[in-house]
Amino acid sequence: MRRLPPVRTALLTALALLVAPFAHAIAPTRMPTPALQARYERLIHGFRCMQCQDESLANSPVSLAADMRRQIRQMLLAGKSDRQIRHFFVSRYGYFILFKPPFVLKTAWLWLAPGVLLITGAVSAGWVIRRRAALAATDDNDEDVPGEDDVASPGKHN
Amino acid sequence: MKSRYLIPLGVFAVIALLLALGIRQAPRKDLVPSPLIGKAAPVFSLPSLANPRTLVTSAQLRGHWYLFNVWGTWCISCRMEEPELLAIARTGVVPLIGLDWKDTRSDAITYLHREGDPYQKIAFDPGGLEAIQWGVYGAPETFLVNPEGIIVYKYIGPITPGAWRRDFLPRLPGGHAVAGS
């Protein structure tokens, strides 16, 4: 919603919030066959609205999203494949327009980072837990550690 | 023994550094880089704003540098940009071709009559499908196209005098001389 004055942004935000619960009702587009209808629905859910970037074309009330839905409809009716339609938008707006970008060199970090972070977290958690367990085991074996008595001693004065 | 307490601190420092670099690299999340730069501009043939019976076509523009400016009278930032567009038109360095996007003819003609018309030609796109061909997602957006019809540069947002000197002139033939004067 950039390039709009704050008042307008606020109004549009309020409008978007009002519209949000009815979002499923935005695209009552009828395609001639159920198969085309299914492809249309799948496609519009897969593209990002470039203006309200966290919404799909299916859920966005913005007029650019309506134009893009119209473009998709026209391409489907002209017999284009899903692949051709996706390529049409990606070559004009970049991978950013896809909610599920393909796994290519440029997007590799995007796909791999969560796994790498998860493994790093799991490994370090495992390491910490093992160390704790090892420490606890040593504590149980050495009951005569002087420090233990010192810790317990304040209680004895009560 | 104490050194193991430094590990989380080290991890924190690395993450902080990565995030700091990320913020620095992407100062504006809303600017999506265009994959069309370095590619051929879309081939188009659209009715002219002034006269629906004449066409503005990409073929007419071959062989010349031009600025392709996407605007509309409903777009506040485009109104802010208008004085700079008029200034650019006065320099005569490069012609401005307008794409009047999702507008009405009468609004646009009245507006240009009142504010001044910086454009050499204006193509009319009330339905908005031509803008999608150019990967437009807001207005104003301005493309610099070379004589071979290749998009050399795209500027998102209203062109300022600084942006004109810094981002456009150096890319144009003889632009350095004008930028220096």
- Of the candidate ranges A105-114, B33-42, B135-144, the one whose mean pLDDT is the lowest: A105-114
Listed by start position, the domains of chain B span 36-180
Q: Which of B36, B77, B128 sits opposite A64 (nearest CB)?
A: B128
Confidence (pLDDT) at A155: 45
Confidence (pLDDT) at B23: 78
Task: Identify from B5, B71, B129, B132 which residue to disrupt to test chain A contact, counting A C-beta atoms within 10 A and taking the largest count.
Answer: B132
Confidence (pLDDT) at A149: 47
Phi, psi of A53 (to 5 degrees): -65, -10
Contacts of residue A116 in chain B, CB cutoff 8 Å?
none
**Ramachandran quadrant class, B116 (left: phi over 0; alpha: psi -120 to 50; beta: rest):** left
Domain B36-180: what homologous superfamily? Glutaredoxin (3.40.30.10)
Concatenating the DSSP letter of every residue in B47-116 gives EBSS-TTSEEEHHHHTTS-EEEEEE-TT-HHHHHHHHHHHHHHHHTSS-EEEEEES--HHHHHHHHHHH-
Model confidence over B61-100: pLDDT tens digits?
999 999 999 999 999 999 999 999 999 999 999 999 999 9
Contact A5 B127 (CB under 8 A): no
Concatenating the DSSP letter of every residue in B6-62 gives HHHHHHHHHHHHHHHHHHHH-S-TT-PPPTTTTSBPPP-EEEBSS-TTSEEEHHHHT
State percent of chain B over pLDDT 90: 81
C-alpha A27/C-alpha B98 separation (Å) is 31
Confidence (pLDDT) at B171: 94
More confident of the two residues B45 and A15: B45
Concatenating the DSSP letter of every residue in A66-123 gives HHHHHHHHHHHHTT--HHHHHHHHHHHH-GGGBSS----GGGHHHHHHHHHHHHHHHH
Q: Write the burial class of residue B83 (CB in 10 Å: 0-12 exposed, 13-18 middle, 19+ buried).
A: middle
Contacts of residue B39 in chain A, CB cutoff 8 Å?
91
The pLDDT averaged over each successive group of 10 residues in chain A (158 residues) is 65 70 61 94 93 86 93 96 96 92 83 92 93 80 50 46
On whether the CB atoms of residues B165 and B179 are closer than 8 A, the answer is yes
- Of the candidate ranges A123-137, B33-47, B85-99, B125-139, the one whose mean pLDDT is the lowest: A123-137
Residues 6+ positions from A44 with CB-CB distance below 8 Å = A27, A56, A57, A58, A69, A72
Contact B139 A71 (CB under 8 A): no
pLDDT of B59 strictly over 60? yes
C-alpha B39/C-alpha B145 separation (Å) is 10
